[in-house]
Amino acid sequence: MDPTLFLTQILVPALWQGLIVTVELVALTAPFGLLLGIGIALGRQYGGKGLSSACAGYIIFFKGCPLILLLFMLYFGLPSIGITLPAFTAAVLGFILCNAAYNSEYIRGAILSIKDGQITAAQALGMTRWQTIESIVLPQAIRRAVPGLSNEFIYLIKYSSLAYMITVIELSGEAKIVATKYFMYSEAFLAVGIVYLALVTLTTYAVHLLEKKTAIPGMSQ
């Protein structure tokens, strides 16, 4: 097949469709993964013994469980107990659960970097424990955790390719289908590699701008 025809009429339209699915996966996962990660970090740091232990167990499990295995459990395993999830929903849920575990560690590390004197001073001014966490600790912690959270977001873009293993046809899945059908493996996978590189490069640049905007004057994150 003529390479130009293959590129313009077959590969590019297929990759565009896959890119839309990839962006949807990432866009749905990132905010919920961050919110859940914040909740887990706060629960582990400020919850009682039971809640803190449960949050620690969550982190250990989802950091130790390979993401592909987690996706298989959600998509292929849950039907055995009567719970059937659409492939896309299973992929997003798996990504959120895994993403939250790593995000919580970045945020907890940032919380630990905040000096206890600030908490003591806030409580001396009459602020409750939750007001102190909400107004003093958490805003600083999130700003300090931006570099780590941004790395996890970039990883998420690349991890999204695993959704193909449970039949979600995203970017790499479209490339695999086209390559198999037309026997143009080098062209298809080179093209999808370029697309992933472009996504990561744009994200890295955006994150750099975000880090500069959220940087605390006189302090390094």
Question: What mean pLDDT is predicted for residues 138-167?
Answer: 90
- The whole-number average pLDDT for the span 56-68 is 94
Instruction: Give the number of other CB atoms < 10 A from CB of residue 176.
Output: 18
Sign of CA dihedral 13, 17, 19, 20: positive
Q: Is 211 helix (H, G, I), strand (E, B) or coil?
A: helix
Q: Is the pLDDT of residue 221 over 50?
A: no
Mean pLDDT confidence for 207-218: 75
Is the pLDDT reported for residue 188 higher than 50? yes
| pTM, rounded to two decimals | 0.90
Residue 70 vs residue 129, higher pLDDT:
70
Rounded Cα distance between 191 and 166, Å, is 23
Angle between helix 87-112 and 49-64 (nearest 10): 120
CA-to-CA distance for 201 and 206, rounded, in angstroms?
9
Instruction: Report the alpha-carbon angle 31-115-103, nearest 5.
Output: 20
Average pLDDT value for the chain: 90
**Residues counted in the chain:** 221
Task: Say if residue 217's pLDDT is above 70.
Answer: no
- Reduced to 3 states, what is the DSSP secondary structure of residue 18? helix
Q: For residues 207 and 17, what is the distance between their CA atoms, to the nearest angstrom? A: 25
For the segment 178-201, the average pLDDT, to the nearest whole number, is 91
User: Average pLDDT of 53-78?
Assistant: 95
pLDDT band at 219 (very low <50, low <70, confident <90, very high): low
Per-residue pLDDT, 166: 95
Percent of the chain with pLDDT over 90: 62
Domains in the chain and their CATH numbers? 3-214 (1.10.3720.10)
List, for residues 24-57, the tens digit of each pLDDT value.
999 999 999 999 999 999 999 988 899 999 999 9
User: What pLDDT shows up at residue 90?
Assistant: 96
Q: What six digits make up the tokens of 132?
A: 């102190």
